[in-house]
Structure 1
């Protein structure tokens, strides 16, 4: 029961180990969250002076040291994700959290400070809390206050403790049917096992009948490992009886995230159960990412199963780093190349109006502007 109490205590207060003395802290990154049962936790703490120059998350706290607001920023500028993955459960540039008797309410805001719908039509995410403040359930509502599903087809999460001190989670759509963790992660009811620091280390599939079960890929257990900085460095996939398999959507046994000294994810690769590097189900053997001094991702590159070049994209940004100014597709030799994902263009440039809306222009590999209808 000790592990559950530790995890719940962290979830109840939404604190980090650096949050006791002040009402505001800055972190380069957010710790991985597989489900919204877990709290938001900052990793790679930085001081206020450093936060003026790099992308980061600003955490604010109330007098009870509960998180009340998290904003992704450079200096005082609110910014969006710019394609950088930190956590599955992060859907807007800013999240505000309010506390009512027995409830915890999350709302979402854009870079201009306007409340928005996030992850689909979710206007409010409302947790129901137990008498000790532990999270028991979560429901999503739209702007009109009506029940709504997220982009993952979830309306309601339910949590209850397991006999050995961990947590069971179920998810339901508006029809009351159980749904999977994510559309591409085919675990239904899951057992979430946390370590003594409140980090998720095992996800076990209990299907729709509360029994350990494998999904159609042979996967029944996901094991998650972290480094000493709190980075999610690898996952491993097993069948329900503990036998290693190449399963779930990536179809690898072991997936590995690589990071630089600042916690930026610079690589992704996968291995089979025998330790041989293999391609993911989408065809890439590995992914490589590069960042500038502001912590903004400026390049993505991937390689095929035989090690040959697959794709390469380069991004440029405004001097302050608050807006993307161009996106270019490059070939194996580093030259611009027309790409169907850019509507047949090799380069897209962006101009912004007074409301901050991006107006794209499209160019072919020779630099000739193309007549492309924007969406």
Structure 2
């Protein structure tokens, strides 16, 4: 059936409106809000950007339905900074469905296959109270059977008590669990600030009174800046005095660049005396390695030539020195059995054996071998070398571990290409 021209115009207008509406319902963010408190904290994007800018950098896509409910998050975040499990999606995509009193999250890889998230669970079901706040969270496996997370938790329960959100956690046997595997808070009271960021998390006893845990910590408190960067956290006792944490500091401060990337952290004791600081490394901020030193260049040449000298002069000890324990030496060859070209590989132990006996007749090399090594590239702890000898052309990869260079990969073929039947 053919549509009339007016009908076609209406059809394409409707399609354009739908596509435009879909784009309006997509929001792009450079980061997720940091959270080390609880899954009660809402998922939120920070550092908003437009679609064009998102194409050229790491980002998340938040998708909303016509009711302005979040229904999908696509994870295009590829920076390598360490992310807390509660602040990480742990999947390429989260799909979120909404029922009357439930929010259901499922997780997928880039091919649409169901996977687990960073909590190692396959489905999260949040239950809501009459006011729309989370009241319970359950974890399920691929068969919709209840399961425990990698922290041994299967259920979270929340309810409000004065200014606090009370949180309790249980495993599949209904045994209470700590807030995480590495921090001893049992029942917790969570206080949020006006924009939903966690402000303080308290360790509570059965009567919901603030109490010290076994190492004297009763709360940790968080500060966020206007851009929702997590800029400070601190540990306190039940009198709100600063105390030392199990990690050996009382206060941690965090610094960010203009794009919201975490770049530095500083630790202080309970008297705000400086303890240490460190740069936060990720692949967004990489300084090129310094130009290789003359010492490194000479050592790379020595190690590379050492491999040939070990074969020529029957020096297994030298072969052991220059070859990495994970060596993979690959040979380009021809199989008469299969009538085709193949590659074969040998490991370090066989190379040591070759150094012990392969040239025992002293007929494998000229009296004065021509060994030539050319360093093609050095980057910090890795290097690429091209090796020429009377017999072979070879490419070597070297690696520097514990301040010692060694050959970890070796690919070779005969210098005389007429030896290959092609």
Normalised by the length of structure 2, the TM-score is: 0.62
Distance 2:26 2:32 in 1: 15
Counterpart CA distance in 2 for 1:200 and 1:238 is 16
Which residue matches 1:174? 172
Contact 1:157 1:171 in 2 (8 A): yes
Higher RCO, 1 or 2 (CA under 8 Å, sep at least 6)?
A: 1
Separation of aligned partners in 2, 1:201 and 1:225? 6
Gaps of 5+ in 2: 1-22, 300-324, 328-380, 384-396, 411-422
Within 5 A, what are the aligned runs for 1:251-330?
Answer: 251-278=248-275, 285-290=276-281, 296=284, 298=286
Provide the C-alpha distance between the structure 2 equivalents of 1:209 and 1:368, rounded to a whole number of angstroms.
64
Over the aligned positions, Cα root-mean-square deviation in angstroms equals: 3.4
Q: Give the CA deviation at 1:45.
A: 0.5
Instruction: Give, in whole Å, the separation in 1 of the partners of 2:219 and 2:146.
Output: 31
2:222 matches 1:224? yes
Residue 399 of structure 2 corresponds to residue 364 of structure 1? yes
1:60-111 Cα distance to aligned partner (Å, 9 max, x none): 00111111111121xxxxx566344266342223211111221110111223
For 1:195, the equivalent position in structure 2 comes to 193
Q: Please, which runs of 5 or more residues in structure 1 have no aligned partner?
A: 1-20, 74-78, 279-284, 300-313, 316-329, 337-342, 349-361
Structure 2 match to 1:307 = none
Q: Matched residues in 2 for 1:229 and 1:37: separation? A: 21
**What do residues 293-316 of structure 1 show as CA deviations (whole Å, max 9, x unaligned)?**
xxx3648xxxxxxxxxxxxxx99x
Whole-Å separation in 2 of the counterparts to 1:128 and 1:149: 17
Which digits, 9 at most, give the CA deviation of each residue in 1:331-351, with x for residues without a partner?
xx9999xxxxxx999669xxx
Q: Which residue of 1 aligns with 2:34?
A: 32
Aligned twin of 1:357: none
2: CA distance, partners of 1:130 / 1:363: 60
C-alpha separation between the residues in 1 aligned to 2:239 and 2:326?
A: 48
Structure 1 Cα separation of the partners of residues 166 and 155 of structure 2: 14
Partners of 1:171 and 1:67 in 2: how far apart?
26
- Report the TM-score, using the length of structure 1 for normalisation: 0.69
Shift of 1:225: 0.3
Cα distance 1:120–1:32, how it changes in 2: closer, same or farther (>3 A)?
A: closer
Per the alignment, residue 23 of structure 1 pairs with 25
Structure number with the higher helix fraction is 2
Q: What SS is found at the alignment partner of 1:49?
A: helix
Measure how far apart 1:185 and its partner are. 1.6
- 1:1-375 to structure 2, matched below 5 A, reads 22-33=24-35, 34-73=37-76, 82-85=80-83, 88-90=86-88, 91-119=90-118, 121-164=120-163, 166-207=164-205, 210-247=208-245, 249-278=246-275, 285-290=276-281, 296=284, 298=286, 364-365=399-400, 366=405, 368-369=407-408
Answer with 1 or 2: which has the greater Rg. Answer: 2
Count of aligned residue pairs for this structure pair = 290
